[in-house]
Every structure is written in structure tokens, then in C-alpha cells.
């Protein structure tokens, strides 16, 4: 994946923001997150972060997860 693909297809954040809330994640599912940034110096791509959501013990669909770098 390229930085341009992430910028074109990913979720956009407000300028100077560094967080986003993920919703409607499936329990016991592995997800990967990657970020891209663009400024006057160019475009850069982060390392990917992998996390797995927790088991759904009470009928909800948004189990938490542990991030791995």
C-alpha cells in the first residue's frame, strides 16, 4: 500500500488531530491500521499496527483490543 492510496481511500482527520474512534468492529477479529501524512515536505507512511478485538461476552459488537506495534 502506498501513502497516496491511504490518503485517497482512508478516513480523514482534522488538521493537527492524532486520534480517531473506531466503531462497529467485530469481536475476536484482527485489524490493521496504517497512517499517512502530507505536508510541504512531502508524503509519509507509518508502520502498520495490528490489533485484535476482545471476545464479545455480553452481546455487544464493539469489543476492545490490544495494539501491537
The CA-atom distances, in angstroms, between 40 and each of 12, 29, 35, 37 are 18, 37, 17, 10
To the question of pTM greater than 0.75 for the whole model, the response is no
pLDDT at 52: 94
Is residue 31 within 8 Å of residue 59, measured between CB atoms? no
pLDDT at 59: 57
pLDDT at 67: 53
Sheet strand arrangement including 49-53: 30-33, 49-53, 65-68
pLDDT in tens, the chain (69 residues): 788 888 888 777 776 677 777 788 999 999 998 888 888 999 888 899 999 999 987 655 555 555 554
Three-class secondary structure of residue 45 per DSSP: strand
Amino acid at each position: 500500500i502506498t501513502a497516496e492510496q491511504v490518503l485517497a481511500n482512508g478516513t480523514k482527520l482534522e488538521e493537527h488531530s492524532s486520534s480517531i474512534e473506531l466503531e462497529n468492529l467485530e469481536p475476536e477479529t484482527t485489524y490493521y491500521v496504517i497512517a499517512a501524512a502530507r505536508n510541504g515536505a512531502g508524503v509519509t507512511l507509518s508502520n502498520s499496527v495490528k490489533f485484535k478485538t476482545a471476545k464479545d461476552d455480553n452481546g455487544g459488537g464493539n469489543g476492545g483490543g490490544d495494539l501491537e506495534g
